[in-house]
Amino acid sequence: MDKDRISGAAKDAAGKVEDTFGRITEDASRRAFGHAREAAGTVEQLYGQAKDAMRDIGDTASDYAKDAVDAGADIYRDGRRAATTAIRNQPLGALLAAGAAGFLLALMISRQPQRRSWRR
> How confident is the model at residue 6, as a pLDDT?
79
| Amino acid identity for residue 60 in this structure | T
> How confident is the model at residue 1, as a pLDDT?
66
Tell me how far apart the alpha carbons of residues 77 and 87 are, in angstroms, rounded to a whole number: 15
User: pLDDT tens for residues 41-65?
Assistant: 888 888 888 888 999 999 999 999 9
Q: Which residues contact 19 (CB under 8 A, 6 or more apart)?
A: 30, 31, 34, 35, 38
Cα angle 39, 43, 45 (rounded to 5 degrees) comes to 115
Weakly modelled stretches of the chain, pLDDT under 70: 1-2, 119-120
Q: With a threshold of 0.85, does the pTM exceed it? A: no
